[in-house]
Chains A and B, each alone.
Chain A
Amino acid sequence: MKIQIKIALLFTSLIAVFVILLSGFVYYFADRNYFQDFFKRLEIRAVIAAKANLEADENNVSIYNEIRREHLEKLPYEKEYIFKIDGSGDIQDTLKALSLPASFLTETLAKKESLYRHNSVFYLGFLYTVNRQNYLIVMSAKNEFGIEYMKNLRSVLIIGAPLCIILALSISLLFSRNILRPVRKITERAKDISSKNLHLRLEVKDGSDELGELALTFNNMLDRLETSFEVQNNFVSNASHELRTPLTTIMGEAEWALGKSRDEEDYKKTLAVIARQADRLDHITKNLLHLAQTGFDGKTQDFKKIRIDELLLEVQRSVVDFHPESIIELDFSLLPEDEEKLYVMGNSQLLQLAFSNIILNGCKYSNYKPVRVALASANETTIILIEDKGIGIPSNELKYIFAPFFRASNTGAYKGYGIGLPLTQNILRMHGGSITVNSSVQKGTVVMVKLPIANLD
């Protein structure tokens, strides 16, 4: 069963219990009150009847009769019986004929007054004493109004309660649909995401409620997935490209040496070149293996505390290693005094990859003009600024630069795969950081990276 329907049913059954309980209470108390009222009316009539019939004073009798005639409306089927209590069994017999139980008399004698109800007919027994002679007055009437009234009430409740329950059911269905709409949206969106379009993300309106958190968690998972996917992609293209260059050299040198017999000196030279290139190959394969491991290995998720300035120095060294013509100026003038503010939680290989991507882009697209890297720390984030004086990115293309395989329209003269920035963005997302790019064509690009500072404890 769908949760939506479960919620609706639960809500409805709760409402149903309340409505039914309330109806029961209403009916019970209305019934009691209404009949008490009727007995009061019978009582007045019984007292007046007793006075009118049994009073010794003639004047009083006529007054009471007048009161009865003028002021007391006859109740439906109103009947009065007056018995003289003299110990004979007549009373019992008459009462039996009226289908009144024996307890009626005894109760009346004991309490001077008693009530009895038989279907819609109400009886009131009343003990009246004149000149030390006890009389039993029995007043009976049919409570037609009351019965009618209670019938009405009953039908209203019987029709009203189911109506209420139906209303509650429809409202609760509406509500539960509304509440679960984000879940349905997430489901629909998640169905669309496959390995082909891993860059898609779920919509997160506000991350404050549980569903927002769910979407956020889902997005984080997608970030990690996408990163590992792209690391894999990157690995293949990097591998083929980087491995080819030394291989071509080795093959060329070997061919040249084998072409005809050469001097010993020439062979030595050739072999030295081959050895150097083989070294380079070894270095590259090791690096690529490393890269691949960081991307695929689940263990890399355990982040370590990294000093961001040391990481940048490392990146500078490795970038200059690979491209000796690049000039990287590290600007640490805004470094915080407290070195604790320089630590971030992260995977150093991935972060190095991210920063070397940005810095290499800066070098490449500025034809190896100096690239400035500045570092500063705010209270909760550390900010790294990478600035180049390169060809820039056209402003209308700026929003696409993080899409995989996108290359700006002015990059035709430069080699690239359009994979570096998306990979960088994913790595930074994994670390809870962000990247913003400002650029103007032919002037240069400023990339600002923000990473959360590691907790001090």
Chain B
Amino acid sequence: MKRVLIPTDFSIRSLNMVQHAVNKFPGEKIEIVLFHLLAMPTSITELMVLPRKKNEYYSIVSDEFYEATQILKNKYASSIDSFTITFQHGSTRAWFNNFLEGRKIDAVVAPGELELAPVFKSSINMSKLIDKCKCLIITPRMKQAEIAEHVPSMAELLPVAQ
């Protein structure tokens, strides 16, 4: 069982990275952790209400996105064990490495040329952190154009969510 971290901005297109994870560990079960990074708030009042903001975060995940994860899980049924979605607060390299170790993450997929949108005001650019982390990094071998060609249907399959 491998645990692979994939950054996401909750667009269907960002799920293209799932296939790289699957290709990296052929014949192995993979637990996919979709994560989104947010900056730690600096004001005390914001910090106090932080635990209650979970619902607000999860409300951004559209039904189509969940549906797309189900589609992928069905497509790669023999390799993908589960999808989990998590929001994390933090921005430093040390924290990120700690987080990877603590969660027992085996590999991280780098978004490469795929640009992830900052969904929240406090969203953090995840690709920089990922490029410098101490974990196994899966970099897509294909260029952006090739990605679009290789899995043409994914994003278009659920056009509403684009």
Contacts and interface: CB of A to CB of B under 8 A. Distances in A.
B70 A378 contact: yes
A337 interface: yes
Q: How large is the interface on A (under 10, 10 to 19, 20 to 34, 35 or more residues)?
A: 20 to 34
B156 A376 contact: no
A389 interface: no
A169 interface: no
Contact of B71 (A338, A378, A387): A378
Task: Identify whether the interface residues of A are mostly helix, strand, loop, or mixed.
Answer: strand
Q: How large is the interface on B (under 10, 10 to 19, 20 to 34, 35 or more residues)?
A: 20 to 34
Interface of B: 67-68, 70-78, 151-154, 156-160
Task: Identify whether the interface residues of B are mostly helix, strand, loop, or mixed.
Answer: helix
Contacts of A207: none
Contacts of A372: 153
A448 interface: yes
A372 B156 CA distance: 11
B159 A379 contact: no
Given A438-B159, A446-B159, A448-B159, A379 B74 contact: yes
29 contacts: A331-B152, A333-B153, A334-B71, A336-B71, A336-B75, A337-B74, A337-B78, A338-B74, A338-B77, A341-B74, A372-B153, A374-B157, A376-B71, A376-B75, A376-B157, A377-B71, A377-B74, A378-B67, A378-B70, A378-B71, A379-B70, A383-B71, A383-B157, A385-B156, A438-B160, A446-B156, A446-B159, A448-B159, A448-B160
Contacts of B72: 334
A334 B154 contact: yes
A332 to B, nearest CB: 9
B75 A334 contact: yes
A33 interface: no
A75 interface: no
Nearest to A335: B75
A336 B74 contact: yes
Given A383-B67, A436-B160, A446-B156, A333 B74 contact: no
A297 B74 CA distance: 36
A336 B77 contact: yes
Contacts of A338: 74, 77
A62 to B, nearest CB: 85
Contacts of A331: 152-153
